[in-house]
């Protein structure tokens, strides 16, 4: 079973999943492998890691397209070339239409840097600090038409420290994202996907 990972930037979550998938027994145990990394930005840092790892890569830049739908039609073609059992959004910064989500219904995951349902949307770390939260974290969820609201597969929590800035908290959460995302991908396949 093929996994296709979509990125827009550094791809540290993608790299964590690729590393986990390269561990002894992972591919055999799950019957799954990372087949390709696709980005909407040619300058995404994660593409060089993917190429070093010998993974297929593709870039589908959203800018030349006249509409979101036209861009997504091209993106779907690039993804489906790998016949994915699972599509993983990892730092992928494009809002996807209900049509795209429906096409991958039940096999489309995302990681969001908050403990959903708290703080959907952007600037989650700043909002958590401003709200006086003591705990923050990340959520891996199924992507549905409603942004940041799909069924939750897994979560991980970190403390918010008194002197935390948005940056220090983001760094602490990102480290834990690299644990929870591979764990969630494993659980997706353990459910006999």
- Asked if residue 12 belongs to a known ligand binding site, the reply is yes
CA 41 to chain centre: 15
The contacts of residue 130 (CB under 8 Å, 6+ apart) are none
Assigned token pair, 121 = 């949307």
- Asked if residue 2 belongs to a known ligand binding site, the reply is no
CA angle 87/24/177 to nearest 5° reads 45
**Least distance CB 185 / ligand GRF (angstroms):** 13
Peptide bond into 193 cis (omega under 30): no
User: Rounded to whole angstroms, how far apart are CA atoms 93 and 104?
Assistant: 17
Residue 112 is among the residues annotated as catalytic for this protein: yes
- Asked if residue 187 belongs to a known ligand binding site, the reply is no
Q: Which is nearer to ligand GRF, 8 or 84 (CB)?
A: 8
User: Rounded to whole angstroms, how far apart are CA atoms 178 and 125?
Assistant: 17
Q: Which is nearer to ligand GRF, 39 or 100 (CB)?
A: 39
User: Which positions lie near ligand GRF, rule CB under 6 A?
Assistant: 7, 9-14, 90-91, 111, 113, 138, 174, 177
- Asked if residue 14 belongs to a known ligand binding site, the reply is no
**Least distance CB 83 / ligand GRF (angstroms):** 24
**Least distance CB 170 / ligand GRF (angstroms):** 6
Query: Which residues participate in catalysis according to the annotation?
Result: 112
Binding-site positions: 11-13, 68, 93-96, 110
């Amino acid at each position: 079973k093929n996994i296709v990972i979509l990125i827009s930037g550094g791809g540290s979550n993608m790299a964590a999943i690729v590393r986990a998938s390269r561990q002894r027994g992972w591919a055999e145990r799950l019957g799954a492998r990372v087949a390709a990394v696709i980005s909407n930005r040619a300058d995404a840092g994660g593409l060089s890691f993917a190429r070093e790892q010998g993974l297929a890569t593709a870039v589908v830049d959203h800018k030349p397209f006249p509409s979101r739908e036209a861009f997504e039609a091209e993106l779907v073609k690039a993804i489906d070339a790998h016949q994915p059992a699972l599509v993983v959004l990892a730092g992928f910064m494009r809002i996807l239409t209900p049509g795209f989500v429906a096409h991958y219904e039940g096999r489309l995951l995302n990681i969001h840097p908050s403990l959903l349902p708290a703080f959907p949307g952007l600037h989650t770390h700043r909002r958590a600090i401003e709200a006086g939260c003591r705990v923050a974290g990340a959520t891996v969820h199924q992507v549905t038409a409603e942004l940041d609201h799909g069924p939750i597969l897994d979560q991980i929590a970190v403390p918010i420290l008194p002197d935390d800035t948005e940056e220090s908290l983001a760094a602490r959460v990102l480290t834990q994202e690299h644990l929870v995302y591979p764990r969630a991908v494993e659980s997706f396949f353990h459910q006999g996907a």
